[in-house]
């Protein structure tokens, strides 16, 4: 497991997914973890209204990603971050990015911050598991 893609959103499930990704990275020398965060277009508008402007909302996202970067770097594991924007949800950008890259595994939390979407539309993690070509580890 040299190339690990870790989808995060700041939820407790993504925190546990990060712990599992770190565990996988420890198995193979010179492993790297790429953090993937997708800004949901509808949520982005809500964040801007809540935080006052797009700069404040972006700063909040950067702080969230930095906490994951710090956690991974503290384990002496190479880490990079990618932020994508999803116009119609977050599953499609995750699927496209994972399928376009040569990842050994995608690690994702079983649930994210958007519990209403999970109940009504089906969860992002289930869509991702169905369409990503690489092995997927879903963490509860």
The pLDDT tens digits of the residues spanning 28-78 come to: 999 999 999 999 876 555 555 555 556 777 888 899 999 999 999 999 999
Q: Which pLDDT value is given to residue 114? A: 55
In this prediction the pTM is 0.86
Cβ atoms of 7 and 106 closer than 8 Å: yes
For residue 72, CA distances in Å to 3, 37, 78, 81, 127 come to: 14, 15, 8, 11, 26
Length of the chain: 140
Q: Which pLDDT value is given to residue 53? A: 58
Q: How many CB atoms lie within 10 A of CB 38?
A: 22
Cβ atoms of 98 and 133 closer than 8 Å: yes
Q: What is the pLDDT of residues 79-126, one digit of tens each?
A: 999 999 988 889 999 999 999 999 999 999 987 655 444 444 447 888
At residue 122, the 3 state secondary structure works out as: coil
Of residues 133 and 120, which shows the higher confidence score?
A: 133
For residue 63, CA distances in Å to 31, 70, 125, 140 come to: 24, 10, 23, 24
Q: Which pLDDT value is given to residue 116? A: 47
Q: What are phi and psi of 125, to 5 degrees?
A: -65, -35
């Amino acid at each position: 497991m040299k190339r690990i893609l870790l989808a995060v959103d700041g939820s407790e499930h993504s925190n546990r997914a990060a712990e599992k990704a770190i565990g996988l990275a420890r198995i193979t020398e010179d492993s790297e973890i790429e953090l993937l965060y997708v800004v949901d277009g509808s949520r982005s508008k809500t964040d801007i209204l809540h935080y006052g402007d797009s700069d404040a909302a972006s700063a909040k996202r950067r702080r969230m990603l930095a906490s994951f970067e710090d956690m991974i770097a503290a384990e002496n594991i190479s880490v990079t971050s990618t932020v994508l924007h999803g116009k119609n949800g977050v599953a499609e950008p995750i699927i496209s990015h994972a399928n376009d890259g040569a990842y050994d595994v995608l690690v994702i939390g079983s649930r994210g911050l958007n519990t209403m979407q999970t109940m009504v539309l089906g969860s992002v993690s289930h869509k991702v598991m169905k369409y990503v070509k690489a092995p997927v580890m879903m963490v509860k």
